[in-house]
């Protein structure tokens, strides 16, 4: 089982409750996050933003069920997360997430079949639907080695959305792309969200990407990651990049992340940057 029933009913779709995460190195146990509490609501685009080593990717893996909290708990739709499950699907940064011996269509179908989500004509119909949504209807018979990096990521996104998870988890999915492809992928992700309205938990170390992709942003302090502030970024999008308000917001976030002592004040209340 991927989840266990808990007694309380959560208002938020996802609750990260006072979560501290640790991992083992050769020499010692390292604390990745310290007492992080976050609520993510249905159809929200929530971004975890912070410098390298702040534990944001580890926190995403904990939500996925790959890492157990050392303290606290993670609750999805009123159930305590205790392992991976098809209600949480991850899209990673690496391009090579696809089976190279399977076609684009078969890669999406495999996820549906292996998880027991759908089979037969229903699975094929859903796979084709989401491949069309990411603009790959003409490439269903193609193999991964014939696709660009951006196209491979689109297949991975289509495969994830075809599972119709309660929450889509994305771990710096565009970080390895060139600038033009990255912008295109951001556009496509936002267009998909407008059409499908899935719930998104997105990890990035780019302030600009966080402002473009996120409706809300959690700022995590340098190692170990603590919640420094929560920002309402609904006012920004790709078209507002370069505007004075966007640049001011980016500078303010930079200050919150790096220019205050990590132990100075409790996390700030949610605030708008418009």
158-175 per-residue burial string, b: 16 or more CB within 10 A, e: under 16: bbbbbbbbbbbbbbbbbe
Q: pLDDT digits over 109-144, tens only?
A: 998 998 888 889 999 999 999 999 888 999 999 999
For 193-210, write each residue's pLDDT tens digit. 998 899 999 999 999 999
Measure Cα distances from 27 to 30, 34, 195, 225, 264 in Å: 9, 20, 48, 20, 30
Q: Can you give the pLDDT at residue 30?
A: 81
Residues 6+ apart with CB under 8 A from 147: 104, 139, 155
Q: How far apart are CA 45 and CA 236, in angstroms?
A: 12
CATH second-level architecture of 14-87+166-257? Answer: 3-Layer(aba) Sandwich (3.40)
Hey, where are the domains in the chain? 14-87+166-257, 95-164
CA–CA separation, 102 vs 113, rounded Å?
A: 14
**Which percentage of the chain shows pLDDT scores above 70?**
90
Report which of 163, 106, 152, 98 is spatially closest to residue 130, judged by C-alpha positions.
163
Q: Check if the beta carbon of residue 136 is closer than 8 Å to that of residue 155.
A: yes
The arithmetic mean of pLDDT across residues 74-103, rounded, is 88
pLDDT tens across 241-260, in order? 889 999 999 999 998 887 65
Q: Please tell me the distance from the alpha carbon of residue 98 to that of residue 214, in angstroms, as a whole number.
A: 26
* Main-chain dihedrals φ then ψ at residue 176, nearest 5 degrees: -90, 0
Q: Average pLDDT of 158-175? A: 92
């Amino acid at each position: 089982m991927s989840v266990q029933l808990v007694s309380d009913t959560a208002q938020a779709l996802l609750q990260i409750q006072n979560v501290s995460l640790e991992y083992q190195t050769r020499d010692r146990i390292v604390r990745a996050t310290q007492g992080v509490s976050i609520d993510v609501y249905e159809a929200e685009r929530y971004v975890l933003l912070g410098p390298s080593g702040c534990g944001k990717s580890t926190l995403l893996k904990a939500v996925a069920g790959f890492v157990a909290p050392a303290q606290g708990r993670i609750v999805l739709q009123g159930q305590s997360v205790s392992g991976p499950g098809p209600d949480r699907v991850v899209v990673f940064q690496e391009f090579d997430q696809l089976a190279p011996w399977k076609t684009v269509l078969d890669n999406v179908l495999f996820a549906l079949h292996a998880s027991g989500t759908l089979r037969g004509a229903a699975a094929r119909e859903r796979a084709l639907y989401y491949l069309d949504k990411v603009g790959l209807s003409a490439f269903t018979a193609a193999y991964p080695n014939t696709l660009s990096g951006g196209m491979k990521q689109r297949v991975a996104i289509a495969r994830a959305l075809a599972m119709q998870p309660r929450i889509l988890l994305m771990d710096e999915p565009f970080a390895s792309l060139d600038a033009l492809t990255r912008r295109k992928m951001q556009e496509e992700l936002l267009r998909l969200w407008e059409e499908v309205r899935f719930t998104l938990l997105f990890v990035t170390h780019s302030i600009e990407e966080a402002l473009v992709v996120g409706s809300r942003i959690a700022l995590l302090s340098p190692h170990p990651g603590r919640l420094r502030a929560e920002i309402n970024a609904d006012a920004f999008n790709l078209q507002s990049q370069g505007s004075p308000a966007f640049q001011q917001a980016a500078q303010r976030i930079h200050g919150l992340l790096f220019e205050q002592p990590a132990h100075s004040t409790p996390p700030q209340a949610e605030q708008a940057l418009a």
